[in-house]
């Protein structure tokens, strides 16, 4: 925030960075080769809903847009769910080998929200992975920072920190990682995990 | 294709706040000019006093700025908590996590104060040294979305560096108060002008009069500035969460409860008034203009009206 904004007590809302998401498909290849995690085909966008008709209209439009494109390709409809913290998750499910299409879907959601002026409401995007031992992993993309971090939940709201750090090492420079570990916030009960 | 923004600043508020800060600056300059005028008319010793008072006052101001988080926590009887300490702590951390991700702020330390009085505050000279605290009372009374609105308001204070701004604004009042004290108790004027005792008395009176006037004017201006900063924080918090009505509900709940708390508890929380979500004392239920002028926070009606504006702004349909 600029000096003048601070002085005058104005917060400029942070706009999201959208394009780094497209690094995911190539990173997924490295992840599979290095650690054996494959995408489950599920990805979601998490955003803060705004009160009022305007936002709910935009949300409905986005949902229809995604449904029409996925229906045309024989895919599953998009679901919207609400979490305990009042955030909405738009979950898209694709076949597990269609990661590029999934990422394009997620990018379409982001762009629609941004185009309608709701960019600052975007929180994160989550893409789910699983390995042969059924361990769950999500790669979470923080829009405001333009960076990724891994999230490996265990039962009972615990995290497998060792696995997360291992995944970061395995994927290495293929993704832009969030350097500040304090920002790797957990998303317990995220849909699609 | 540029994205449209719904987050247009509130120009009226900005203009009023700028005018208040400008007036504070004018008062400061007038004060220094008066002191120097008095000093050169009666000898150089008064400028030495001013210099001494500025150093002392500056020292207090800088010290309080750097230790604001420790001071605030100690005064409120709050303890830092981690997410695994209790379900309350986990809930608080979860809300703060998401707010920080939305606002792209580093995560502050999180503390809980052991009192049933509902309130929340955030302090710290910048976002990297910040702490946000909620009382058990507020955690008990508010729903998640209302609590989130309150915390977003508090974190906006940190983002706007309100601790720094208010400390600098109070700097002048501190100096004026110090000068009154020094002129009253010290005999620096009398000591330097052996041959002119009557002049020394006049100088001291003039100095005291100027200091008192300056203190009174800057006190009112600082309170005014504090109210505008509160409105800014309300606004930023509501824009961040996208739910002005949750913040309104929280305000109504907290203000209503505060009014019923006996005065014994309120007096112990006076020093932290400027940082609290709502002031710990109400001068009268029917907010008279005079009571309002002395308040660090705007009236409930004013805050709700400003939040209505935010609601309209967010609800503007595409067009």
Q: What's CA B86's distance to the chain center, in Å?
A: 31
Q: How far apart are CA A60 and CA A65, in angstroms?
A: 9
Contact yes or no for A51 and B314 at CB 8 A:
yes
pLDDT higher than 50, residue B13? yes
pLDDT of residue A139: 94
Residue B291 exposed, middle or buried by CB count within 10 Å (0-12, 13-18, 19+): middle
Domain spans, chain A: 14-183
pLDDT tens across A24-77, in order? 999 999 999 999 999 998 999 999 888 888 888 888 888 888 788 766 666 677
* Closest-CA residue to B238 (of B150, B110, B116): B150
SS3 for A136? strand
Reported confidence tier of residue A2, pLDDT bands at 50, 70, 90:
low
pLDDT higher than 90, residue B20? no
Q: How far apart are CA B301 and CA B279, in angstroms?
A: 14
Q: Which residue has the higher pLDDT, B316 or B288?
A: B316
Question: Chain B: nearest CA to A97, how far in angstroms?
Answer: 30
> In this predicted structure, which of A23-27, B29-33, B36-40 has the lowest mean pLDDT?
B36-40
From the list A14, A51, A185, the residue facing B243 with the nearest CB is A51
Contact list in B for residue A115 (CB cut-off 8 A) is 1, 3-4
pLDDT of residue A149: 93
* Closest-CA residue to A109 (of A127, A96, A86, A85): A127
Contact list in A for residue B148 (CB cut-off 8 A) is 85-86
pLDDT of residue B263: 44
Chain A interface residues (partner B, CB cutoff 8 A): 1, 6-15, 48-55, 57-58, 84-87, 114-121, 123-124, 142, 144-145, 157, 180, 182-183, 185-186, 188
Is residue A127 within 8 A of residue A109, CB to CB? The reply is: no
Contact yes or no for A182 and B106 at CB 8 A:
yes
* Closest-CA residue to A193 (of A168, A157, A162, A161): A157
pLDDT of residue B291: 62
Reported confidence tier of residue B122, pLDDT bands at 50, 70, 90:
confident
Angle between helices B197-241 and B87-103 (to 10 degrees): 90
Q: How far apart are CA A163 and CA A151, in angstroms?
A: 9
Reported confidence tier of residue B318, pLDDT bands at 50, 70, 90:
very low
Question: Chain A: nearest CA to B214, how far in angstroms?
Answer: 23
pLDDT higher than 80, residue A10? no
pLDDT tens across A119-157, in order? 888 899 999 999 999 999 999 999 888 899 999 998 878
A125: β partners: A45, A141
Residues 6+ away with beta carbon under 8 Å from B192: B43, B45
Those of residues 145-184 in B touching chain A at CB distance below 8 A are: 145, 148, 156, 159-162, 165
B314 lies within 8 A of chain A by CB: yes
Q: How far apart are CA A104 and CA A99, in angstroms?
A: 9
> In this predicted structure, which of A73-87, B109-123, B140-154, B241-255 has the lowest mean pLDDT?
A73-87
From the list B3, B17, B311, the residue facing A114 with the nearest CB is B3
Catalytic residues of B: 154
Those of residues 253-312 in B touching chain A at CB distance below 8 A are: 311
Tell me what the pLDDT averaged over chain B comes to.
Answer: 77
Contact yes or no for A8 and B3 at CB 8 A:
no
Reported confidence tier of residue B191, pLDDT bands at 50, 70, 90:
very low
pLDDT tens across B48-106, in order? 767 777 777 778 778 777 777 777 787 778 899 998 899 999 999 999 999 999 888 88
Contact yes or no for A123 and B98 at CB 8 A:
yes
* Size of the A and B interface in Cβ pairs below 8 Å: 128
Q: Count the Cβ atoms, other than its own, within 10 Å of residue B114.
A: 11
> In this predicted structure, which of A107-111, A114-118, B168-172, B285-289 has the lowest mean pLDDT?
B285-289
ipTM for this model: 0.75
Q: Identify from A1, A2, A6, A9 which residue to disrupt to test chain B contact, counting B C-beta atoms within 10 A and taking the largest count.
A: A9
Those of residues 67-96 in B touching chain A at CB distance below 8 A are: 90, 94-95
B240 lies within 8 A of chain A by CB: yes
Contact yes or no for A14 and B3 at CB 8 A:
no
pTM for the model: 0.76
Contact yes or no for A117 and B4 at CB 8 A:
yes
Minimal-distance CA residue of chain B relative to A180: B106
Minimal-distance CA residue of chain A relative to B152: A11
Residue B264 exposed, middle or buried by CB count within 10 Å (0-12, 13-18, 19+): exposed
Q: How far apart are CA B233 and CA B228, in angstroms?
A: 9
Contact yes or no for A50 and B242 at CB 8 A:
yes
Contact list in A for residue B162 (CB cut-off 8 A) is 9
Minimal-distance CA residue of chain A relative to B90: A157
């Amino acid at each position: 925030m600029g000096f003048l904004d601070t002085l005058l007590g104005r917060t400029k809302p942070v706009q999201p960075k959208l394009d780094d998401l497209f690094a995911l498909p190539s990173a997924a290849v490295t992840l599979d080769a290095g650690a054996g995690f494959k995408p489950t085909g599920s990805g979601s966008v998490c955003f803060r809903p705004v009160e009022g008709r305007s936002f709910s209209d935009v949300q409905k439009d986005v949902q229809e847009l995604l449904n029409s494109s996925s229906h045309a390709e024989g895919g599953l409809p998009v679901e919207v769910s609400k979490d305990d913290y009042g955030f909405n998750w738009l979950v898209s499910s694709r076949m597990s080998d269609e990661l590029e299409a999934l990422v394009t879907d997620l990018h379409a959601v982001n762009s629609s929200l941004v185009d309608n002026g709701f960019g600052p409401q975007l929180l994160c995007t989550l893409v789910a992975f699983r390995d042969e031992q059924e361990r769950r992993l999500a790669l979470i993309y923080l829009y405001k920072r333009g960076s990724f971090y891994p999230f490996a939940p265990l039962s009972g709201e615990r995290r497998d920190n060792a696995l997360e750090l291992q995944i970061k090492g395995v994927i290495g420079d293929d993704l832009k990682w969030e350097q500040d570990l304090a920002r790797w916030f957990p998303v317990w009960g995220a849909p699609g995990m | 294709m540029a994205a449209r923004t719904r987050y247009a600043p509130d120009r009226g508020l900005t203009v009023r706040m700028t005018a208040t800060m400008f007036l504070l600056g004018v008062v400061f300059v007038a004060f220094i000019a008066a002191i120097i005028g008095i000093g050169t008319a009666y000898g150089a010793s008064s400028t030495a006093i001013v210099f001494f008072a500025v150093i002392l006052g500056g020292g207090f101001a800088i010290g309080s700025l750097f230790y604001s988080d420790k001071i605030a926590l100690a005064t409120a009887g709050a303890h830092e908590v981690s997410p695994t300490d209790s379900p309350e702590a986990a809930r608080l951390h979860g809300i703060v996590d998401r707010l920080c991700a939305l606002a792209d702020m580093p995560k502050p330390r999180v503390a809980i104060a052991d009192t049933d009085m509902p309130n929340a505050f955030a302090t710290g000279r910048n976002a990297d040294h910040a702490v946000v605290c909620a009382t058990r009372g507020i955690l008990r009374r508010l729903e998640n979305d209302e609590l989130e609105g309150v915390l977003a308001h508090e974190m906006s204070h940190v983002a706007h560096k309100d601790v720094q701004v208010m400390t600098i604004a109070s700097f002048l009042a501190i100096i004026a108060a110090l000068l009154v004290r020094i002129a009253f108790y010290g005999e620096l004027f009398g000591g330097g002008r052996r041959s002119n005792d009557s002049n020394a008395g006049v100088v001291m009176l003039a100095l005291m009069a100027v200091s008192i006037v300056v203190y009174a004017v800057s006190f009112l201006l600082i309170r005014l500035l504090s109210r505008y900063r509160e409105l800014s924080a309300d606004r930023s918090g509501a824009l961040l969460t996208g739910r002005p009505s949750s913040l309104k509900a929280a305000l109504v709940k907290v203000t209503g409860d505060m009014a019923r708390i006996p005065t014994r508890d309120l007096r112990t929380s006076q020093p932290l008034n400027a940082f609290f979500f709502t002031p710990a004392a109400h001068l009268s239920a029917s907010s008279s203009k005079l009571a309002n002028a002395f308040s660090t926070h705007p009236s409930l009606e004013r805050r709700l009206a400003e939040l209505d504006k935010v609601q309209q702004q967010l609800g503007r349909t595409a067009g």
